[in-house]
Structure 1
Amino acid sequence: MDDRRFQVRNGQGTYARSHTGRATTGIDANAMKVLRNTYSLLAMTLLFSAVMAGVSMSIGLGQGASLICSLGALGLIWLVLPRTANSSAGIAVVFAFTGLLGLGLGPLLNHYLALSNGGAIIMQALGGTAVVFMTLSAYVLTTKKDFSFMGGMLMAGLVVVLVAALGSLVAGMFGVDVAAFSLAISAAIVLLMSGFILFDTSRIINGGETNYIMATTALYLDIYNLFVSLLHILGALNDD
């Protein structure tokens, strides 16, 4: 679902930063309102996504259905969300999008739960995701630093990762062992999503993102991809 970055990361908007490069010392009322709405909607969508993942796991959703859910989520975020982000309908779209991603996550979670220490791996990935997100978010909110300068680098890194992932998929289809390469891609995604958390949070508090629905979508994707990548890395480190 990283493809959404090509639309979310448009680099538009103004940032509260002086010509000397110092971050501003406070968050204005409008930015604070967007931040509160974003975190409230983000918490609800994460919970809803977790519930849908549980449903997917309980009914034993297959890989084919999981792929359809992921493609459906991609269609929503590309074709529907941009048209509804400024209305209440956008909230329903975000819930549908995160619900589909939650459903699509079920087969992967079931795969790990079938392993002897799969439950521990999932909990470690969840804990690691929470620690990274809360730590980086707290850093931005405390320092009020502007990380807008990272936008170009993050987009370039994302393009490289997407091309590498596609190449890995093609190579795997021809019988090439890409396990180590896939692990390196997951590590790169962890670094990229950490940077995007800094970038997205900074955009909110400095006025670069004024739509809390779009802000929620961006942060949700950061968390989702961070969790999945950590899950892959921890699974590999545990020889699973």
Structure 2
Amino acid sequence: MRLNTAISRPEADILSTNKVLRNTYLLLSMTLIFSAMTAGAAMLFNLPHFSPIITLVGYFGLLFLTTKFSNSGLGLVFVFALTGFMGLTLGPVLTMYVKAFSNGHELIMTALGGTGVIFLGLSGYALTTRKDFSFMGGFLMVGVLVAFLAGLASIFFTMPALSLAVSAMFILLMSGMILFQTSEIIHGGETNYILATISLYVSIYNLFLSLLQLLGVFSGED
């Protein structure tokens, strides 16, 4: 009697999803560590703030290249180039908080801890409940676009109140994005772990910066 050892389609889908999840979280961990290293280097060498134009051109240029080569080995190179660049842009911001506030280090660690708790909590919820959050996609895309444009306006027109509102919006939007992106991986909407890593990294990056800004305003000590 011959046993049928073929893997059924549902089982194959589960194995594929688990592989994408495993590779995504492994690569995400590595990029976060690398980004922290480049941020630390920027602080060590006291690099100046990057202009908004350089930051945007560098980010979108490297994002384009990462997306274009996401199905090849070059995609991994550009993932680290992008996250390393974002770490460099983050370093001067952290230096500013350390110098501007007597409790600057505490603010940074609190924002880092809050980011970790939110990410792990939301990812854990999506993974354990396996709910489909794909319905949030359209709303989140529009929300991020509106918040991004409002953020640019607050920078170029120097509007502190609008900047705070944008930070609060980004905390909510990035939390929603983490749920949405994790759900996409679980339900097969995202099968490329490089693209999944970048999506989650950007959400974590913006979440951390937004938390840090709000903490600086409400808890910063001169």
Q: Provide the TM-score with structure 1 as the length reference.
A: 0.83
Q: Matches of 1:95 and 1:28 in 2, distance apart?
A: 28
Aligned to 1:49: 35
Contact 2:70 2:195 in 1 (8 A): yes
1:161 maps to which residue?
147
Task: Report the alpha carbon displacement of residue 74 of structure 1 after superposing the two structures with TM.
Answer: 2.3
How far, CA to CA, are the matches of 1:33 and 1:233 in structure 2?
37
Q: How does 1:134-145 map to 2 (within 5 A)?
A: 134-145=120-131
1:239 and 1:40 map into 2 onto residues whose CA distance is: 34
Give the SS at the match of 2:128: helix
**Aligned match of 1:150 in 122, 132, 136?**
136
Following superposition of structure 1 onto structure 2, how do residues 69-148 of structure 1 map, counting pairs within 5 Å? Answer: 71-78=57-64, 80-114=65-99, 115-148=101-134
Cα distance, 1:67 vs structure 2: 6.1
1:226 paired residue number: 207
Report if aligned partners of 2:126, 2:183 keep a CA contact under 8 Å in 1.
yes
**Between Structure 1 and Structure 2, whose CA radius of gyration is higher?**
2
1:171 to partner: Cα distance: 2.5
Partner residue, 1:236: 217
Structure 1 counterpart of 2:32, one-letter code: L
Deviation >6 Å, runs of 4+:
none
Secondary structure of the corresponding residue to residue 63 of structure 1: coil
Do the aligned partners of residues 66 and 109 (structure 1) sit closer, same or farther apart at CA in structure 2, a change above 3 Å counting?
Answer: farther
Matched, 1:29 2:15: yes
Contact 2:190 2:196 in 1 (8 A): yes
Q: Distance in 1 between matches of 2:125 and 2:90?
A: 29
Contact 2:133 2:180 in 1 (8 A): yes
Within 5 Å, which residues of 2 pair with 1:172-211? 172=158, 178-211=159-192
Give CA deviations for 1:53-104 in whole Å, capped at 9, x if unaligned.
00000001011478635532321102x1122100111011100000000011
Aligned residues: 209
1:165 shift after superposition: 1.6
For the residue of structure 2 that corresponds to 1:28, the secondary structure is: helix
Separation of aligned partners in 1, 2:168 and 2:60: 23
Unaligned runs of 5+ in 1: 1-26, 173-177
Taking a change above 3 Å as real, the CA distance of residues 47 and 66 of structure 1, as seen in their structure-2 partners, is: farther
Structure 2-normalised TM-score?
0.89
CA–CA distance in structure 1, aligned partners of residues 124 and 141 of structure 2: 23
CA distance in 2 between partners of 1:86 and 1:231 (Å): 34
Q: Which moved more, 1:60-69 or 1:137-146?
A: 60-69
Q: Distance between the aligned counterparts of 2:156 and 2:192, measured in 1?
A: 38
**SS of the counterpart of 1:60?**
coil
1:208-219 map, 5 Å: 208-219=189-200
- Percent identity between matched residues is 53
Q: 2:76–2:194: 8 Å Cα contact kept in structure 1?
A: yes
Conserved? CA contact 2:143–2:173, under 8 Å:
yes
Q: Residue 189 of structure 1 contacts residue 226 of structure 1 at CA under 8 Å; is this kept in 2?
A: yes
Whether the 8 Å CA contact 1:122–1:231 is kept in 2: the answer is yes
CA 1:65–1:182: 2 relative to 1, 3 Å: closer
Q: Distance in 1 between matches of 2:56 and 2:155?
A: 17
The amino acid of 1:163's aligned partner reads L
RMSD: 1.7
Q: Distance in 1 between matches of 2:110 and 2:142?
A: 29
- Secondary structure of 1:145 counterpart: coil
Q: Give the aligned residue type for 2:22.
A: R
Aligned pair in 2 of structure 1 residues 224, 152: CA closer, same or farther (>3 Å)?
same
CA drift at 1:160? 1.4
**Structure 2 spans left out of the alignment, 5+ residues:** 1-12
